Structures are given as structure tokens and as C-alpha cells.
Amino acid sequence: MPSRPITILGGGNTAFASAARLALDGHTVTLCELPQFAENVAPIETSKTITLTQDGQEQVAELHDVTTDVRRGVNAAGLLLVMVPAYAHSAFAEACAPHLRRGKTVVLMPGTLGSLEWARILSEHGVTGVAIAEVDTSPYVCRRTGPAEATIWGAVTGLGLGVLPATSTEEVAADLAPIFPGITAYSDAAECGLSSLNPVVHPAGVLMNAGRIEHSDGEFFFYGEGVTPSVAKVIMAVDKERRAIGEKLGYTLTPVNESFSNAGFGPAGDLVETIKQSDMLTQLKAPGSMENRWLTEDMPYGIATWSLLGEKLGVETPIMRSVIELCSVVVGASAWDSARTLEDLGIADLSPAVLRRFLRSGEK
């Protein structure tokens, strides 16, 4: 694989694991975190090394640079991989915008429609000529397992890509293919954002496992033990509403169980069968409490945003709304209050026809 400069923006699970993996693959990797979260990268700022465990093998990855200077991070590479929670998308967009120049490519991994929010922010800063893309799930099943350590249990083999503008899809997909083999393209960024896997599974799955999570402090395998047939029924009901929203925009979205299989998580089958036979997903423990990103991120930046889009398109989403209302009670804060809105995405005033044109050309 030819070596190339890559900047990874972030300092958490996926950022650490991916920085190590791509450095070991021979790429020149810069890891860049926002200054206000400098503590995330402080343990490796001097050594610039991360110990990665994968397939039972432990290797030390050497990064090119570790920095909280966003200008330095942006200038270090033409390809920027944004590997942060959805609630950090706007902060990184605001920080990067003054330093982005024509010809750069930004990929949110994953995005959950975040590419549209980035497009709005860059437009407000007068930035043009930047391809903004997102993928439908994280490229690795991974965790940061120490201050300077990460573990990867598996790589996604069917990563899905959406690009804004869609006219740049072929170019961006070809650029990413050597780095993430097996990557495939959606028709546009919104189809990709509506195909994210976590918001379909996590809020409903966590809510249905609330008693067990609180009783055991998350000491069980969420997917392997927590996604039982009854839990899967609720997840698939959420998924049905997601696909109905997509249909209004002209997409035929893949059911979540098929998406899990296509991504390489497990063999084809219904959701329970695919998960039970997944070597990757069955390794993941449940969250330790109900105050966790699977609710505080995947509700307001996932199903809440989808539900708001459904409302605009005339699609009712009673299951999504029920999950949101009940989870909001559990966490003690309304997910609607922190939701990524259609105004945040810059599409509140767009008709479906104008939205499709914008997704295609990047122009309104």
C-alpha cells in the first residue's frame, strides 16, 4: 500500500486505534485534538507512539506528529479523517474552517448526516472546493484500552461512503480504497447518513437492557447477550421507520441486519443470528451506566435528527419518538433539546427536490 500523509482529528477510541493501525500500515499519520481536550493526547505527545493489540499481536505504532495545533494538523495532509463523537462535529468544523483550502478532503467516520453540518459551517466561513464525506460506521471495532494503548477486534470490510457533493464520489472513493479496502459508495451523503448503524441499535437496545445494565454495571456482552429476539423486534421497528424516511428521498435503504452482514460483522440472517455469530460484536461489553454515548450521542444526533427529517417529509416515527421520550426520562434530559436539527444541517428550508439537487452538486 503506498504511503501517504493522513491527519486524524480526535483523541478517543476510534481516533487512537485508527491512528495506530494506519501508521503500522505505513502511512504518515498526524493525530490532532482540539486544544480544550489536550489531556486526551497528552500521554503520547512526547513519545508519539501507541501500542496496538490486534489479532493477538501487540505492536508499537510510531506517529508522525501529535498536536493540538489545528492549523498544523490541517496543513499536515490533504486527507482529514474526523473520528470524534457526533456532538464534536461542529466544534471541529469551526476550528478547521479557517485553515481549510481548496482540494482538501474531509471524511467523518462515522457521520450520521454530519457532513451536511460541516458543509453549512464551511459555507458560512466562505470555504469552497473541499470535498466533505462521511461513512456509515466506524472502520474498526475498537477501544482505547490505556493512556497510550488501543485494541482492534476487527475491521469493517464493507464500509459505506457518502460524499458531498455527490459528483465527487468516484474521486473520493478511489482515494480511500487503498486505505479502507472494500469501501463502497452510496448515491449521496444523506443516504449514507441515514444508513448509520449505531442509532438504529443503541438507543432501543440500551433502553430494553436498562435493568441489567444498572444491576451489573454493564458487565455483560451487549450484542451477544443483550440483543435478544424481543429486543431485536424493537430495533427492527426503529429500522422500519428509518427506511420509510429514506424512501421519501428516493433511497432503498438496506435493513439493519443485512447492513451488519454486509459490513463484515457476521453472516447473513436475521439480526439475532448475525450478531450471535459475530466474532467482533460479541466481544463488546455493555455501557457501564445509562449515562453513556449510546444514548447521549445516538439519540440527539441519530434517531432524533432522523425523526425531525421524517416530520418534514410527512413520515411518522412513533417508535423512534417513544424510545427518545423514555430514554430522555432515564438520563434526566430531553434529547430533543440537544438534537442536531435541520437548521444545524442547513436544510430546514429546502424542499425534497432542492435537497436532492444540493446533495448532488453542493449548491442550493
Three-state DSSP at 2 gives: coil
Task: Look at residue 279 in the predicted model and tell me its pLDDT.
Answer: 85
Bridge-partner residues for 80, per DSSP? 7, 106
Check whether residue 291 and residue 206 sit in a common domain.
yes
pTM of the model as a whole: 0.92
The widest CA-to-CA distance across the chain, in whole angstroms, is 54
The pLDDT, as a whole number, for residue 262 is 87
Same domain for 265 and 180: no
**Residue 359 located in a structural domain:** no
From 169, 193, 217, the end of a domain falls on 193
Identify whether 70 is part of a domain: yes
Which grid cell sits at 342?
435541520
DSSP per-residue codes, 152-214? EEEE-SS-EEEEESGGGHHHHHHHHTTTSTT-EE-SSHHHHHTT-SHHHHHHHHHHHTHHHHH
Q: In what order do the strands lie in the sheet with 140-146?
A: 57-62, 49-54, 149-155, 140-146
Q: Is residue 135 domain-shared with residue 164, that is, in the same domain? A: yes
210 and 124 in a common domain? no
DSSP state of 64: S
pLDDT of residue 283: 86
Domain boundary among 135, 159, 193: 193
Q: Are residues 228 and 328 in the same domain?
A: yes
**Distances from the Cα of 286 to the Cαs of 117, 148, 152, 219, 289, in angstroms?**
30, 23, 17, 7, 9
Say how far apart CA 237 and CA 43 lie, in whole Å.
Answer: 43
Q: Note down pLDDT in tens along the chain; length 364 residues.
A: 678 999 999 999 999 999 999 999 999 999 999 999 999 999 999 999 999 999 999 999 999 999 999 999 999 999 999 999 999 999 999 999 999 999 999 999 999 999 999 999 999 999 999 999 999 999 998 999 999 999 999 998 889 999 999 999 999 999 999 999 999 999 999 999 999 989 999 999 999 999 999 999 999 999 999 999 999 999 999 999 999 999 999 999 999 999 989 888 888 889 999 999 988 888 889 999 999 999 999 999 999 999 999 999 999 999 999 999 999 999 999 999 999 999 999 999 999 999 999 999 998 7
Residue 257 belongs to domain with CATH number: 1.10.1040.10
Q: What is the pLDDT of residue 331?
A: 92
In this predicted structure, what is the pLDDT of residue 3?
84
315 and 210 co-located in one domain: yes
The whole-angstrom distance between residue 53's C-alpha and the CA centroid of its chain comes to 22
The answer to whether residues 283 and 303 belong to one domain is yes
Cβ count within 10 A of residue 214: 13
Q: Which residues, at least 6 apart from 46, have a Cβ–Cβ distance to it below 8 Å?
A: none
Phi, psi of 59 (to 5 degrees): -135, 150
Q: Which amino acid is at 338?
A: S
Instruction: Kindly state the cell numbers that stand for 143.
Output: 477501544
Residues 293 and 244: their CA atoms lie apart, in Å, by 26
Give the pLDDT score at 226: 95
Instruction: Please count the other Cβ atoms lying within 10 Å of the Cβ belonging to residue 222.
Output: 23
Give the span between the Cα atoms of 18 and 143, in whole angstroms: 10
Q: Report yes or no on 134 lying in a domain.
A: yes
Please tell me whether residues 124 and 222 are part of one structural domain. Answer: no
Q: At what angle do helices 229-248 and 304-313 cross, to 10 degrees?
A: 40
Range of the domain at 331: 198-349
Number of domains observed in the structure of the chain = 2
Q: Which residue has the cell 464534536?
A: 88
Q: What is the pLDDT of residue 1?
A: 61
**DSSP class of residue 265?**
S
**CATH number of the domain that residue 111 is part of:** 3.40.50.720
For the chain, strand residue ranges (E) read 5-9, 28-32, 49-54, 57-62, 65-67, 79-82, 105-108, 131-135, 140-146, 149-155, 160-164, 184-185
Last residue in a domain, options 136, 162, 193: 193
